Amino acid sequence: MTQDAHKQRYEGRCLCGSVSFVIEAVFDGFFLCHCSHCRKGSGSAHASNLFSSTATLTWLSGEELVSHYQIPNSRHARNFCKQCGSPLPRIVRAKDDEAETDGGLVVPAGCLDTPLPLLPTAHIFTGSRADWDHELETIPQFEDFPR
Q: What is the DSSP letter of 115?
A: P
CB of 67 to Zn ion, least distance (A): 10
Nearer to Zn ion, 84 or 130 (CB): 84
CB of 39 to Zn ion, least distance (A): 8
Nearer to Zn ion, 73 or 138 (CB): 73
* Binding-site ranges for Zn ion (CB under 5 A): 14, 16, 18, 33, 35, 38, 81, 83-84, 98
Secondary-structure breakdown of the chain: helix, strand, coil percentages, each rounded to the nearest 5: 15, 35, 50
d(CA 147, CA 144): 9
CB of 69 to Zn ion, least distance (A): 14
Distances in whole angstroms, Cα of residue 65 to Cα of each of 50, 76, 132: 22, 20, 34
